[in-house]
Amino acid sequence: MPSPKGPPELKHLDHVLVTPAAIKRRIAALGAQLNRDYAHKDLMVVAIVNGALIFTADLLRQMRSPLRLDCLRASSYHTGTRAVGEPRIVDQMKLDVKGQHVLLVDDILDTGKTLAAVAGLIKAKGAASVRTCVLLDKKARRAVPFEADYVGFEIPNEFVVGYGLDFNERYRNLPCIGVLRPKYYGG
């Protein structure tokens, strides 16, 4: 039986970086900012799944602007906790971005390669504007120059899981953002 306090995998965390209450407060603030910035615009939100799924679901419910949602899937080859090689778009969007104001949402900005590639692609398809929103920003890991327009939290250079972020597709359901104990990622 799962504990009433949360999934048993919470025990795999070395420590919690961002609590559920802090995530909730920050998403309310981001939502308010987006509502101001896009007050008179019809918005197309593009979530990079699976990682951005939970963040996007909570963020969208704070937003008052008329909007549509689409998803795309990007993938890099991974060895352990490190992405190697260039990200590839493996599942394309369904909606046409031409002439649209696009808000790209991802879970975390790490090397910057994924968002730089996807933002470039959407601009090339003729979007009217492209902005990016990430829950987490690991500035120390940047490999290409890229900054998000909206950032939930800046975090230190540690591999994190929870609230949509995974290790080997696990831990996405944790309600907080935390650092895995090394024995669980073989570090």
Residues marked active site are found at 110
**Which CB sits closer to Mg ion, 65 or 76?**
76
Query: What value does the CA radius of gyration of the chain take, rounded to a whole number of Å?
Result: 16
97: which DSSP letter?
A: -
Query: Which of positions 50-109 make contact with ligand IMP (CB under 6 A)?
Result: 51, 83, 87, 106-109
Q: Is 160 in the site for ligand IMP (CB under 6 A)?
A: yes
Pair 90, 73: CB distance under 8 Å? yes
Answer for which of 51, 87, 152, 175 binds Mg ion (CB under 5 A) is 51
How far is residue 74's CA from residue 92's CA, in Å, rounded to a whole number?
9
Bridge partners for 63 per DSSP: none
Q: What crossing angle do the helices spanning 53-60 and 20-37 adopt, rounded to 10°?
A: 60
**Which CB sits closer to ligand IMP, 115 or 127?**
115
Residue 162 Cβ vs ligand IMP, minimum distance, rounded to whole Å = 9
**Which CB sits closer to ligand IMP, 51 or 126?**
51
Pair 145, 134: CB distance under 8 Å? no
**Which CB sits closer to Mg ion, 43 or 71?**
71
- Smallest CA-to-CA distance from 158 within 179, 135, 184, 187 is with 179
Only segment of 50-58, 124-132, 154-162, 175-183 that touches Mg ion (CB under 5 A): 50-58
* Residues contributing to the site for ligand IMP (CB under 6 A): 51, 83, 87, 106-114, 159-161, 165
Residues in touch with Mg ion (CB under 5 A) = 51
